[in-house]
Chain A
Amino acid sequence: MTLASVSSASRVAAISRLTGLRVPPTVALSFAVIALVIAWSLAPGLFTSHNPVVGVPADKLLGPGTTHWFGTDHLGRDLYTRVVYGTASSVTSALIAVVIATVAGGLIGLLAGFLGGWVDIVLARLVDVLLAIPNFLLAVIVVTAIGFDTTNAAIATGVSAVAVFARVMRSEVIKTRQAIFVEAAFLMGGSRRHILLRHVLPNASRSVLPLAVLQFGLSILVIASLAFLGYGDPPPASDWGLLISIGKDYLKWPWLVYAPAFVTIATVLSVNRISRWLRTTD
């Protein structure tokens, strides 16, 4: 599962729903929010004329207004600009987490479900270990081991979600394998590889896709939480979680917390809505 396939799949789905005029307004709004977020991450310069790193020290801690939509921070930087420029890193890190979780988890689940036998037993124990440690605790421990920065936080988040994907993938693979058409393919003498690629994978990925989309939203939150605890990138990075984390030191100027929090919530909410829609319409 790659970035391209996730977004293209959802785009295809979006177009097909739109043409069918069956898109609820909330879903349309969610797609609009996600489109804006993607635009922010691809071309932040189009959306703001301020500099995200260099501020005007004399203008520090100004309230939200027409010149500074979200106000300014403790070094006089425009907070809206910092949010816009932080989008790329927030989105990319969540994607890294999803890709790791889907690829590693998917592979484990696929091998366990398809091969069965001792492979299944060994992998099942590994998954049990990963499941036995609370998700967030696991992420914290992994990020401690590999070092504190946003990419590592993303990797840790991905690792902590591997078990979930492995479990879902495995049960889907078993289900598909037992399905009549796969048995028929076996009887007709299809090679294992052929059956895997033609029948098992496409079927299993249908329930993995909404899960991956959901995991994307979840990863944004987990990475933000790790950043909040201080396991994120050094300044002047402006990932959303880092911005909230910096803002909490300045509770007297609450927009420093609430503005990036609002953007985070809107994004995750949209992603969740889309995931739910994908699940119910398929």
Chain B
Amino acid sequence: MTVRFSSFSHSRRRLLVTLSAVTAAALTAMAGLSPARSAGAQKNVGDITFLIDSLGGTWIPNNSSISSFQGHIWGHVTDKLVYVDAEGKVSPWIAESWEQSSDATHFTLHLKKGVTFSDGSALDASAVVANLDIWYAGRKSEGINPVGLFPKTYDRAEAVDATTVKVVFKAPTLGFIPTLGYHGSILISPKSIAQPAAQQADLAKTSGSGPYLVESWKEGDFVKLVKRKDYNWGPAAVGHTGPAYLNSITYKLVSEPSLRVAAVQSGQADVAYSPSPQELKSLKDAGFTIATPRYLGFVNGLAINTRLEPYNDAKVRQALQAGINRKEIIDTVYTPDWKLATSFIQSNVPGATDHSDLLAYNPGKAEKLLDEAGWTKGAGGIRTRDGKQLTLTLYSNPYLATAKSIDELIAQQLGKIGWKVTIRAYDVVTFGEKVRFGGPAVPAYEVTRSFIDAGTVASILTDANNGENWFNLGDSDKQLNELRDKIAGAASTEIRDPLLDQLQTYVLEQGYFIPRTQIVQRIYVQSPKLKGEVYNGIAYASYYTATIGE
């Protein structure tokens, strides 16, 4: 098998797209963007405290790497094969270069030399293979889950030599390289991977190759990271590859948002995560740094169940699209740091196009559409048709702190044009049990979802190839299916981008997806003394490059 594979690979070599040159060019461009730093700051050492609202559940790497909370710690303790910046640009990290076959089924990764995990073992090709294997399969009977968004088309990986890994897929997988920069794809020492689940759950017993290592931790309390002095393989894209500047980072759990913020205000801590958006303006005025990085992904919005009355009627969906005042949401619930949605994917995703005209607030148009659809205003201002009221149930997304406030506001806005909106708020457990895309009692699912490559978007929307069937259309919408298949088959971004644009127009025009705002799921309030942190494509803050002043 191996022999056949290599001969196959050789015959294809001429056809391979060599990415090394491209990435080198990208690097030169990015060197200029790296955070400016005064000369004296290089010697700076210091300790920072980061206040966080939760430290998640288990620390088994596979099960916790994508956690909105634990991801912060993993981002400092581990490295990834590639780096994805806030604009979605992919650049080398542990993988110095890579090649892929023209049908995107065979990939070759060339690794950096001399990289070690904190337990002393080498980060070589066999370590990468062990990681790829466990990301794909997990060890389900032990409670170690697969990494959710790792390509299901994965076949196998093998170490060609100490620094070369070949990865084979059963079907074309354009998104593989960007996925390696996704927060799920963290590199863990093979010794840690071999440990049983209960050992892996002890954070102190897991080793990564990152610029920090875990000095101590206590469940539900804190995690203290200290810098690794021999670290010398940071991602070139952040403009620094040596050891980190800050001596230690302590992640401390403080569950009340107001306490986190007040602690930073009074100088008791340096960063507060997830403050209440209401407080941001006064904090900014007081000189604190506010960071609202957007992740690459879908905007926060509603995926409409098109099989449910009355949302099977395009006019009703379009009325919904026009009946929401998105600017008022930002003005009331958020601050100007939030951006209006311009599509159903975030505007920083490569391939996202501006469709603001389709998302303008136009209550007159909404009322007209509802009149046309036969919903007339009755007693109490609520519209009815054949004795049935025009209702909408919103299930507040428990993963977004502001979801309830937004739902309340939308209920008021829609109430004005004759909608009867009820709000259900469940905890995460009940939400997971009861609320699904296209569920029988779920007219609208509130989406918060990141992705690393826009190519995956189209395939999620329908039910083909294990898709999630967001709008409950099955494969009934010919035009959507056609766009989906064309996007999946696109060999380059030049071909793909116009198709993505068509897809965005179509989904918004049909009222399949009702955007609310661009999402900022990770908000940071930071002491003005702390400078130079970098946000990656999934909006996690990295303090690897940060320094702290007087």
Query: When A and B assemble into the complex, do they touch directly, with CB atoms less than 8 Å apart?
Result: yes
Could you tell me the distance in whole angstroms from the C-beta of A7 to the nearest C-beta in chain B? 31
Interface string of A40-54 (1 = CB under 8 A from B): 000000000000011
Q: A57-B332, A60-B332, A74-B278 are in contact. Are A234 and B423 (CB under 8 A)?
A: yes
Let me know if B266 is at the binding interface, CB within 8 A.
Answer: no
Beta-carbon nearest neighbor of B429 in chain A: A144
Which of B42-50, B132-140, B219-227, B400-408 lies at the binding interface?
B400-408
In the complex, which residue of chain A has the Cβ closest to the Cβ of B258?
A251
Most buried by A among B256, B407, B409, B412: B412
Contact partner, B332, options A76, A248, A249, A250, Cβ 8 Å: A76
Write the nearest CB–CB distance from A243 to chain B, whole angstroms. Answer: 14
Pick from A53, A61, A235, A248: contact of B278, CB under 8 Å: A61
Taking CB atoms, residues of chain B closer than 8 Å to A76 are 332
Chain A contact residues, majority secondary structure: loop
Q: How far is the CA of A252 from the CA of B276 in the complex (A)?
A: 11
Chain A residues within an 8 Å CB radius of B332: 57, 60, 75-76
Q: Does B262 contact A (CB under 8 A)?
A: yes
Report the minimum CB–CB distance from B34 to chain A (whole Å): 36
| Distance of B397 from chain A, by nearest CB (Å) | 12
Taking CB atoms, residues of chain B closer than 8 Å to A148 are 426-427, 430
Given A61-B278, A147-B430, A249-B257, decide whether A235 and B407 contact each other with a Cβ distance below 8 A: yes
A235/B425 contact (C-beta < 8 A), A53-B412, A75-B409, A252-B279 known: yes
B256 cross-chain contacts in A, Cβ below 8 A? 248-249, 251
Instruction: Kindly state the separation between the CA atoms of A74 and B332 in the bound complex, as whole angstroms.
Output: 8
Partner of A74, one of B331, B405, B425: B405
Residue of A nearest to B396 (CB): A234
Residues of B within 8 A of A202 (CB): none
| A234 CA to B427 CA, complexed, in Å | 10
- Could you tell me which residues of chain A, from 27 to 66, have a CB within 8 Å of some CB in chain B? 53-55, 57, 60-61
| A252 and B258 within 8 A (CB) | yes
Q: Is the CB of A235 within 8 A of B423?
A: yes
Chain A residues within 8 Å of B423, by CB: 234-236
Q: Check B282 for interface membership: any CB of A closer than 8 A.
A: yes
Which residue on A lies nearest to B328, using beta carbons? Answer: A57
B424 on the A face (CB < 8 A):
yes
A61 to B430, CA, bound (A): 32
B408: A residues at CB distance < 8 A: 53, 75, 235-236
Is A234 a contact of B425 with CB atoms below 8 Å? yes
Q: State which of A60, A61, A234, A251 has its C-beta within 8 Å of the C-beta of B404.
A: A234
In the assembled complex, B415 has its CB within 8 A of some CB on chain A: yes
Mark interface residues in A134-156 (1 if CB within 8 Å of B CB, else 0): 00000000000001100000000
B331 touches A57 (CB 8 A): yes
Contact with A along B71-90 (1 / 0, CB 8 A): 00000000000000000000
Bound CA–CA A251/B278 (angstroms)? 11
Give the interface centre of A55, A75, A230 by most chain B CB atoms within 10 Å: A75
- Nearest-CB residue, chain B, relative to A55: B412
Residues of chain B lying within 8 A (CB to CB) of residue A75: 332-333, 405, 408-409
| Contact indicator A249/B430 (Cβ below 8 Å) | no
Q: Is the CB of B427 within 8 A of A250?
A: no
A74 to chain B, nearest CB (A): 5
Top 10 closest pairs, chain A to chain B, by CB: A234-B425, A251-B258, A57-B332, A235-B404, A54-B412, A249-B276, A235-B408, A234-B423, A74-B278, A236-B408
B interface, CB within 8 angstroms of A: 256-259, 262, 276, 278-279, 282, 328, 331-333, 396, 404-405, 407-409, 411-412, 415, 423-427, 430
Taking A55-B412, A74-B278, A251-B259 as known contacts, 5 extra A-B pairs with beta carbons closer than 8 A to each other, sorted by chain A number, are A74-B276, A75-B332, A148-B430, A235-B405, A250-B278
CB-defined A-B contacts under 8 Å, sample of 7 = A53-B412, A74-B333, A75-B405, A75-B408, A234-B424, A249-B258, A250-B258
